[in-house]
Amino acid sequence: MASNFKYNCLFKNNLGEFLIISIDRNDTIEDLIHSYFKRKKKENLFINNIENTYFICDGKPIDYKNKQKISSIFNINFNPTINVFHLDSKDNYDDIEKIEKIKEKIYTCVYKAKYKENIVAVKTIKKKQLKDDIKDSKCVIEITEEDFKNEIIKFNKELSNMKICYCENSVEIYDYFDMENEFVIIMELCDSNLFKELTKTKNGFNEQQIKEILLQLNNVFRIMNENNIVHRDIKLHNILVKYLNEEKTKFKVLLSDYGVSNQLNSMTQRYKTHAGTQIIMAPEILSGKKYNNKCDLWSLGINIYFLYTKKTPYNGTSENMILNQIKKLGQSILKNIKDEKLKDLLSKLLVIEPEKRISWEDYFNHSFFKEKIKIDIEKYEDIELLEPIKTNVHSSVYKGKYKDQFIAVKKINKESLKEEIMESKLIDEITEEDFKEEIIKFDRELSLMKKCYCENSVEIYASFDTKEEFIIVMELCDNTLFYELAKTENGFNEKEIRDILLQLNNAFRKLNENNIAHRDIKLHNILVKYLNKEKTKFKVLLSDYGVSNQLNNITQKYQTFAGTKIIMAPEILKGEEYNNKCDLWSLGIIIYQLYTKKIPYNGEVDNEILEQIKNIGQSILDKIKDEKLKDLLSKLLIEDPDKRISWEEYFKHDFFK
């Protein structure tokens, strides 16, 4: 039996491609690598010269010429993951036109440049200086091929981690080259960094500004946490800024520089490598102990303190001096923090023992990120209703003003709500029990909106239950995505759709983390806030959790009929049980709408829509030109929910790479 044992080797490359190769335990490493290239060629995947390809398993390089048996390398019960790094010297490297130098270090340099008609940032890593640096650090005259290969692995690791963590708030990579004398990365150009923005302030940023910065960064921190990636150098210089207006008062922040980042195989794995910038290093790294991704939480705490006070809490010039200050001063440094919620967050981030430090999950759910303003019920009269925005059968939304802040006020009329219940139930009188159910629905909407709050979901400020109305006071937006689509000639292009989805994914992640099915994801429920006067740039926010619900666990299913028919998943239309995969179908419908400016199925009743879904099927995708978008839609618009893509697979789809 042992001789027939096969390994299922998962190959993951830095282009987002995945392959599983099954191979006999008596085959060699060389056989395995050749099988990999043979499969790539057969499936028309990216083909690269084998000499320019590096294979890493469990942090160690694999020699593609190795003739040892697989069984001598891998354990018999171990199906290994092999990371593949392709480097290529492409002809279009000559398209780079350097404009000016932005930043220079010992062996790296960043330029502003023109590449394929775009203004970009170009990071170059000189191989000769890199070799000299390695020789100095190792106190040797010559560097071995093995040592230099490890540096190439580090370069590829940075690329890989930047691609894995790509979202609206991380710097995007466009291209990369391995040239004879240097490594080159072509990436998104930014305007400034958070350190420079801090120096422009008089006394640092206030609580509201810090909250807005962190809510953006949390989008990339969530992806890092999901993928067990440790950045190890989170500092203000590595948080870049892109201005959103001419006055440079509004900006977007993006995490960059994954040069010393690494990926844990599991949440329990720990490092002992000394990496990062001393002043923001966690105590466990400074003292040479093992550490995991909680070290980034300490660094984040230091940065938040710096943003608020414009000072570093500890200012030693050596590791021992910094460690002594941390132990001596402890949390007495927090006496300068006036905001209680911010102070509480910092007190949980800047804990010396990593085991007692806040977890990433608890950090994301901390009360500091919750409500921005509070309105006491006694002060409801202070709200000034300005003009109606939207009116439904039993609810209206108004633009309002509270103190100096414009707000949205949603009013749900209890009497008209009662009439609607009576009509739907064909009764003359509504029972107390039936109306209690409506109050429960109102409370549930509030609860789920608060639970799902992030940078890209509408925020609730306050709620009231008066004699005549339910009232929700929330964030005011400028428009809906439906109206933005109506302004276009032929719909949005792939890049615009990707930008919209990358923002919405932050809200979808919160839904998925909490096992919540929204059940009414449509363009009217995706609101828009303009970021410039021309209204060409906007932020999108998910809203209207009126028919959403929370599953107790991922296997629980609903059978309630809820949502808007034209975007409803087939399993709901059929009256079958369903879970939060129903939202993936609705998402597929609105992506199709955004691209084509049409709805794929246009029946008016359940059976008509179901008939069209069966008859037309995925032939509707013939109109989608972009192959990655087409592939994503083909996996979202699957009638059978069991065969439909999962949320985790959706977030990791190639379309977002």
On the question of pLDDT at 20 being above 50, the answer is: yes
Q: Identify the pLDDT of residue 519.
A: 81
> pLDDT tier at 327 (50, 70, 90 boundaries)?
confident
- Least reliable range by pLDDT among 37-46, 415-424, 532-541, 592-601: 37-46
On the question of pLDDT at 73 being above 80, the answer is: no
Q: How far is the C-alpha of 599 from the C-alpha of 588, rounded, in Å?
A: 11
Q: Identify the pLDDT of residue 138.
A: 62
What is the homologous superfamily of the domain 91-187 according to CATH?
Phosphorylase Kinase; domain 1 (3.30.200.20)
> pLDDT tier at 464 (50, 70, 90 boundaries)?
confident
> pLDDT tier at 559 (50, 70, 90 boundaries)?
very low
On the question of pLDDT at 481 being above 90, the answer is: yes
What does the block give as tokens for 267?
């949440």
> pLDDT tier at 41 (50, 70, 90 boundaries)?
low
> What are the residue ranges of CATH 3.10.20.90 in the chain?
2-86
Contact 280, 303 (CB under 8 A): yes
Topology annotation, domain 479-656: Transferase(Phosphotransferase); domain 1 (1.10.510)
- Residue range 388-393: mean pLDDT, rounded: 80
> pLDDT tier at 155 (50, 70, 90 boundaries)?
low
What does the block give as tokens for 174?
């466009």
**Coil, helix or strand at residue 53:** strand
The predicted model scores a pTM of: 0.58
DSSP 645: P
On the question of pLDDT at 393 being above 80, the answer is: no
Phi, psi of 87 (to 5 degrees): -120, 140
On the question of pLDDT at 1 being above 80, the answer is: no
- Least reliable range by pLDDT among 153-162, 178-187, 318-327, 526-535: 153-162
* pLDDT tens, position by position, 519-558: 889 999 999 998 777 888 889 999 877 545 554 444 444 4
- Please state which CATH number belongs to domain 377-474: 3.30.200.20
Cα of first residue to Cα of last residue in the chain, in angstroms, is 42
CB atoms within 10 A of CB 416: 14
The residues that bridge with 62 in the sheet, in sequence order, are: 55
Which is nearest to 517 in space by CA: 462, 473, 559?
559
Contact 506, 456 (CB under 8 A): yes
> pLDDT tier at 194 (50, 70, 90 boundaries)?
very high
Q: Identify the pLDDT of residue 501.
A: 95
The residues that bridge with 472 in the sheet, in sequence order, are: 410, 463
Whole-number Cα distances in Å, 51 to 19, 48, 97, 179, 484: 20, 8, 28, 14, 49
* pLDDT tens, position by position, 495-508: 999 999 999 998 89
- Residue range 188-196: mean pLDDT, rounded: 92
> pLDDT tier at 151 (50, 70, 90 boundaries)?
low
What is the homologous superfamily of the domain 192-369 according to CATH?
Transferase(Phosphotransferase) domain 1 (1.10.510.10)
Mean pLDDT of the chain: 79
On the question of pLDDT at 444 being above 80, the answer is: no
Q: How far is the C-alpha of 210 from the C-alpha of 203, rounded, in Å?
A: 13
Per-range mean pLDDT, top range of 95-99, 270-274, 425-429, 499-503: 499-503
> What are the residue ranges of CATH 3.30.200.20 in the chain?
91-187, 377-474
Q: Identify the pLDDT of residue 492.
A: 94
Q: How far is the C-alpha of 397 from the C-alpha of 76, rounded, in Å?
A: 63
Q: Identify the pLDDT of residue 135.
A: 67
Q: Which tops the pLDDT comparison, 93 or 459?
A: 459
Topology annotation, domain 2-86: Ubiquitin-like (UB roll) (3.10.20)
Round the CA-based radius of gyration of the chain to a whole number and report it: 27
Q: Which tops the pLDDT comparison, 621 or 562?
A: 621
Alpha helices in 87-206 (DSSP H): 127-138, 145-164, 194-200
Q: Identify the pLDDT of residue 629.
A: 93
Q: Identify the pLDDT of residue 445.
A: 64
Which is nearest to 565 in space by CA: 634, 620, 509, 612?
612
Q: Identify the pLDDT of residue 606.
A: 72
User: What percent of the chain is predicted at pLDDT more than 70?
Assistant: 78
- Residue range 225-232: mean pLDDT, rounded: 83
> What are the residue ranges of CATH 1.10.510.10 in the chain?
192-369, 479-656
